[in-house]
Structure 1
Amino acid sequence: MIDSMSGAVELGLLYALMALGVYITFRILDFPDLTVDGSFTTGGAIAAIMVSHGFSPWLACLAAFAGGLVAGACTGLLHTKGKINGLLSGILMMIALYSINMRIMGRPNISLLGTDTIFTSISPILLGFIIVIVVKLLLDAFLHTDLGLALRATGDNARMIRSFGANTDTTTILGVSLSNGLVALSGSLIAQQSGFADISMGIGMIVIGLASVIIGEAIFGARSVFQATLAAVLGSIVYRIVVALALRVEWLNASDLKLITAIIVIIALVLPSVQRAIKQKANAKRRAAELISRALQSNQGGRP
């Protein structure tokens, strides 16, 4: 049980970078980016091919981040300059990345067993924690700069920010690029931690990222940028713990992981609506009780 929870926390930290990337497009830009499923594999593919050819694992991570930036920039350009629907832009890039990733890897999967990775001499949990904290703080600092504020304003009200002279096309491309860069970095870490990269390792990543963000916001709230990014990180860990616990149920198999993910996302999406409905009903009852009480007091006060 302890080993299972330890593994869940470890994976949660490594996938937290992907959750931060999804947070940028999903919450900040309000952009439905499906490039994630392809860019995650791109990061893993670049890291695996470089590490297996003797390059520094840290350099491989930087190269993976750069590859994700390029993939995200292509999606942003398709949407802003090509005037293609955002959802369709992501789908097109995701499809293109499948062939690109196969070109990068040269074969469907690459094994990293026996090669040195960033986790060779340090605990994955400790290193993952350090990397996530550093990236989170850097992202928080960026989002409070003038460019970061313009990025946030683009998602809130693109027409308003354009009236102040900001180029929303540039901020959209930047945001989608940064998002996929973080996703690719997460893919490179996962490939090195698991000891292999596979052409299908990115399938369903967008759903996992959304689940992490939504669960984190539902449990920990998102009143500020600092709290929202922290919620995404903690949501990733909570999601992995929930999955680990669910898979310990005897009648569930590893093949049920996608079903479990879908159920978790549905619950996370429905729960806030249910909570709001209950709260509104309770407030309505309280207001009705106050009105009745005031009416009774008024009637009693008007008697001779």
Structure 2
Amino acid sequence: MFESLNGAVELGLLYALMALGVYITFRILDFPDLTVDGSFTTGGAIAAIMISNGYAPILACLAAFVGGLVAGACTGLLHTKGKINGLLSGILMMIALYSINLRIMGKPNISLLGSDTLFINISPLTVMLIIVIIVKLMLDAFLHTDLGLALRATGDNSRMIRSLGANTDSTTILGVSLSNGLVALSGALIAQQSGFADISMGIGMIVIGLASVIIGEAIFGARSVFFATLAAVLGSIVYRIVVALALQVEWLKSSDLKLITAIIVIVALVLPSLRRTMKQRALAKKRSAELIAFAHQQKTGGGR
């Protein structure tokens, strides 16, 4: 059980960068970006092909990040300059990336067994803890700069920020690019940790990213940027722990992973709503009781 939980925390940290990327588009920009499923594979493909050709793992990770930036920029341009619906822009780019990723890899699967990776001499848990902390703090610092504040304002009220002279097209492209850059970096790290890159490794990543963000916010809250990004990271870890515990159940199989993911997301979405409804009903009952008591008191007092 301990090994299972340790592996879940490790996987949670590996996917935490992807969760941070999803947080940027879905929470900060309010942009439904489905490019994630394609850019995740792009990161893994670039890293795998570079490492297998003798390049340093760090350089491969940087190249994967740049590849994600480019993919995100294309989605942003389709939406802002091409005037294509945001959801459709992401879908189109995700479809295009499937063929692009095959071009990059040259074949559906690339093995990294025997190649030097970031995790060759150091525990993945230690490496990922350091990387996630650095990336999270850098993202927090960026979101507090003038450009970062403009990015946040674009998602909150694009009309208002346009009236102040900001170019919302540029901030949208920047946000989607940064998001997919982090997603691609996560894909590069996953490929190195698992020892291979596969053309289908990105399928369903958007659901996992959303699950991490939603679970994190539901459990830890998001009252500031620092706590919101922390919630995304911790949500990724909690999600993986829940999945690991669910797979310990006898009648559940590893093939049920997608079903478990869907159920976790549904529960994470429904519980806060149920909690609010129950709180409102309890408050309504309390007020009704107070009004009845007050009316009774007035009637009794009037009778005297």
What TM-score, normalized to structure 1? 0.98
**Runs of at least 5 residues in structure 2 that lack an aligned partner in the other structure:** none
Where does 1:265-280 land on structure 2 (aligned, <5 Å)?
Answer: 265-280=265-280
Where does 1:257-296 land on structure 2 (aligned, <5 Å)?
Answer: 257-296=257-296
- Moved runs in structure 1, 4+ residues, more than 6 A? none
Find the residue that maps to 1:110 and give its secondary structure.
strand
Superposed CA offset, 1:193-251 (max 9, x none): 00000000000000000000001111111111111111100000010011111111111
TM-fit CA distance, 1:303 = 4.1
Find the residue that maps to 1:302 and give its secondary structure.
helix
Distance 1:28 1:298 in 2: 52
Q: Where does residue 160 of structure 2 map in the other structure?
A: 160
The one-letter code matched in structure 1 to 2:171 is: T
Distance 2:296 2:181 in 1: 64
Q: Where does residue 27 of structure 2 map in the other structure?
A: 27
Choose 71-80 or 152-161, whichever is displaced more: 152-161
Q: Where does residue 192 of structure 1 map in the other structure?
A: 192
Q: Where does residue 207 of structure 2 map in the other structure?
A: 207
Q: Where does residue 75 of structure 1 map in the other structure?
A: 75
Distance 1:79 1:207 in 2: 22
TM-fit CA distance, 1:11 = 0.3
Q: Where does residue 229 of structure 2 map in the other structure?
A: 229
Distance 2:218 2:176 in 1: 24
Find the residue that maps to 2:130 and give its secondary structure.
helix
TM-fit CA distance, 1:302 = 3.3
Where does 1:136-175 land on structure 2 (aligned, <5 Å)?
Answer: 136-175=136-175
The one-letter code matched in structure 1 to 2:81 is: K
Distance 2:191 2:22 in 1: 19
Find the residue that maps to 2:93 and give its secondary structure.
helix
Superposed CA offset, 1:236-272 (max 9, x none): 0010011111111111111111111111111111111
The one-letter code matched in structure 2 to 1:241 is: I
Superposed CA offset, 1:177-203 (max 9, x none): 000000000000000000000000000
RMSD (Å), alpha carbons: 0.9
**Runs of at least 5 residues in structure 1 that lack an aligned partner in the other structure:** none
Confirm or deny that 1:94 pairs with 2:94: yes
Superposed CA offset, 1:276-295 (max 9, x none): 10010011111112222222
Confirm or deny that 1:248 pairs with 2:248: yes
Distance 2:140 2:196 in 1: 31
